[in-house]
Amino acid sequence: MTAPPLYSTPFRPSGAQLGLIFANFLMWSGFFAVIPLITVHFIGDLKWTAASVGLVLAVRQLSQQGLTVFGGAWADQVGSKPLILAGCLLRTVGFTWMGFADSLPLLLAASLVAGLGGGLFDAPKNAAIVAVTKPEHRTRMFSLTSISGNLGMVTGPLIGAALLGLGFRVAAVTSGSVYLLAALVMGLTLPWLRPTGATRGSGLKGLNVAARNREFRRFTLVLIGYFVLSTQLNVLVTLKAVQLGGVGATGALYGLSAGLAVALQYPVLRFVETRLPTRVALVGAVSLVGLSLGLMAFAASFPALLACVVLYSLGTMTVYPSQQTLTARFAPPEHLGSYFGFSAISLGVGGAVGNVVGGALSDLGQRLGLAALPWLILFAVGLLTAAGLWWALEGQGRGTETLPGRAADIERLE
């Protein structure tokens, strides 16, 4: 099977498109400048339990992804720009507040505000990309925003690690200020886009249609298991990296993961798309993520851990485009946005559970003196999730369609 050409006409980004690409870079930089440091600061410096910090991260994840389910529908009613601006401002407040939180309730409240901000701008940002980009150029535009996000994922931890010497509060305030800058960029470059919804409430109707699709619902629920695994980069993997390589190891950890995505995501997808059906690619990628986490149980040095992260990254960079391809295949054209909104449930629930479970497993492993226990449990979760996806996508396995010829956006953690 010969892959179709990616782009048939030249693509010259407009001011609005360049603004979206740059703002996306800022958002990911701001996110990763502070999120890894939450684990380092509150567990390593203040000696909070890993479970309590996992709960904080779970609140941020669940509040963001829960609101994302409705974000696309709201953008259809009021337009993308006001929601993006409001989301950036809320994220500024939430991340700045984290720097001044000295108790678990305050940190939970700050995490909730930060999560709500992300939920407001996440889906509308994608809607804005579609609105300002011609259909023949959307693939390339999403590819460029993917690269900018990965570059932000590289830059953010380096900034955070550098600022940590000045104190966590400085890092948190700086991270929040980055979102304020992203709001300014969007305010100056993004036009006031006309709402696309045909009728009020149409988005909620689409969500109902997606929820009643049994095969798609099953697919979405099984994917929760994968997002339990992918969230561990912020929890268990970060904790082990600090244990083996010190606080500065977080920059190398996230830099390697994002750098691999920047350098290899497109060629890996091109390799996979011409050789494997999407169902096989997804199941194989989830299995690889589970295997890489299982192998981390035996990583006795920081270089060994990074070798496992390479396998982990090869899996994660394939999972997201496979998921998006299958979601689009399930969705009728008139409810495409609602299906993508409904699919956010898997990331929201899986991310929340993964943060709590990751922290709890870390504490349990330390109490029992079984350091390998959390990793072996995650390996089992990966195998069960891969088997569940094979079952859930049985109806999709009759064809031989492969991934579309495109580089897809990275997993939405921001």
DSSP 8-state code for residue 212: T
Is the pLDDT assigned to residue 51 strictly greater than 70?
yes
Mean pLDDT of 374-400: 84
Environment class of residue 6 by beta-carbon count within 10 Å: exposed (0-12), middle (13-18) or buried (19+)?
Answer: middle
C-alpha distances in angstroms, 253 versus 36, 98, 257, 409? 10, 23, 6, 20
pLDDT in tens, 67-91: 877 776 777 677 789 999 999 999 9
C-alpha distances in angstroms, 192 versus 45, 151, 178? 45, 27, 22
Amino acid letter, residue 289 = V
Length of the chain: 414
Architecture of the CATH domain 15-398 = Up-down Bundle (1.20)
**pLDDT of 405:** 34
Instruction: Please answer whether residues 298 and 372 qualify as being in contact, where contact means their C-beta atoms are separated by less than 8 angstroms.
Output: yes
pLDDT in tens, 178-236: 999 999 999 999 998 765 544 444 557 777 888 888 899 999 999 999 999 998 887 88
Amino acid letter, residue 238 = T
DSSP 8-state code for residue 334: G
pLDDT, greater one: 406 or 350: 350
Rg (CA), the chain: 20
CA 320, 322, 326: angle at the middle one, nearest 5?
Answer: 120
Mean pLDDT of 350-377: 85
What are the helix (H) ranges across 40-137?
50-78, 80-98, 104-131
pLDDT in tens, 142-170: 667 777 887 887 788 778 878 877 888 99
341 CB-near residues (< 8 Å, 6+ apart): 68, 69, 70, 71, 72, 73, 123, 203, 206, 207, 210
pLDDT in tens, 16-34: 999 999 999 999 999 988 8
Is the pLDDT assigned to residue 399 strictly greater than 70?
no
Q: Report domain extents, the chain.
A: 15-398
Residue 363: band (very low, low, confident or very high) from pLDDT cuts 50, 70, 90: confident
**pLDDT of 5:** 46
DSSP 268-329: HHHHHHTTSBHHHHHHHHHHHHHHHHHHGGG--SHHHHHHHHHHHHHHHHHHHHHHHHHHHH
Write down the mean pLDDT value for the chain: 81
**pLDDT of 9:** 61
Q: Longest Cα pair distance anywhere in the chain, in angstroms?
A: 61
**pLDDT of 94:** 94
Percent of the chain with pLDDT over 70: 84
